Amino acid sequence: MIGEEAHYAGAHLSVVTHHVRTPSRKGGRRWTVVHRKAAVVVAPLTAEGNLVLIRQERVPIRATIWEVPAGQIDDEGKCEVADMEAVALSEMREETGYELAIGGGLVPLGDFFTSPGFTDEHSYFFLAQPVQPGAAGHAHQESEAILDCQAFTPRQLREMIAANEIRDANTLSMCAKLVAGGFLSLS
């Protein structure tokens, strides 16, 4: 790091131009980076093998989309697996109203960078299985823009992906992880 210039700092992100040396640029290069907190992405899978998705308003893209539940890890110090699992379960309950069924559990599925060309944001994947509707039902927070919650069969998911109805990186990446791990078959 040669230097940096901060442009913006808010509750959810900051924008900084870094001046760094890289193996290909000994003299350095400038790169503007959006720094965001890490997040969890959870795939609630029912005992029947259906994936629970939420339909949410997304202002930046001026659309509503079907997606898996996700949320930022508010306390950056909580990046131990047990802490991330607690955040994943909390996000699932808040956004879907579902909870783990008796004997259910969380399976960590790794992490990924959301868009490494401009941000350091990364998300941790978890599979929650089996899940069932919770006794409390949906309790959407005022700050959330969740319009609907529904469990989809693998066939419906495949059709939604093919029809471009599922378009966000979290959900598409999660589906790929679930298929690669043998947890879901879209064939």
Assess if residue 116 is contained within a domain: yes
More confident residue, 89 or 137: 89
Contact present, 21 and 28 (Cβ < 8 Å): yes
CA distance 40 to 134: 20
The residue range of the domain holding 10 is 3-35
> pTM for the complete prediction?
0.90
Helix, coil or strand: residue 182: coil
* CB 186, CB 175: distance < 8 Å: yes
> In this structure, are 59 and 131 located in the same domain?
yes
Per-residue pLDDT band for 77 (boundaries 50, 70, 90) equals low
Q: Are strands 3-9 and 13-22 parallel, antiparallel or unpaired?
A: antiparallel
Indicate the average pLDDT of the chain: 92
Identify whether residues 97 and 171 lie together within a single domain: yes
Quote the CA–CA distance of 50 and 56 in Å, as a whole number: 19
Is residue 89, in this structure, part of any structural domain at all?
yes
Same domain, 50 and 141: yes
| Residues present in the chain in total | 187
Does 60 lie in the same domain as 152?
Answer: yes
pLDDT value at residue 138 = 61
What is the rounded distance in angstroms from the CA atom of residue 23 to the CA atom of residue 71? 35
Residues 26, 107, single domain; the answer is no
Structural tokens at position 102 = 């008796």
In a domain, 186, yes or no: no
- One domain for residues 144 and 104: yes
Pseudo-torsion of CA 147, 59, 90, 116, nearest 10°?
Answer: 140
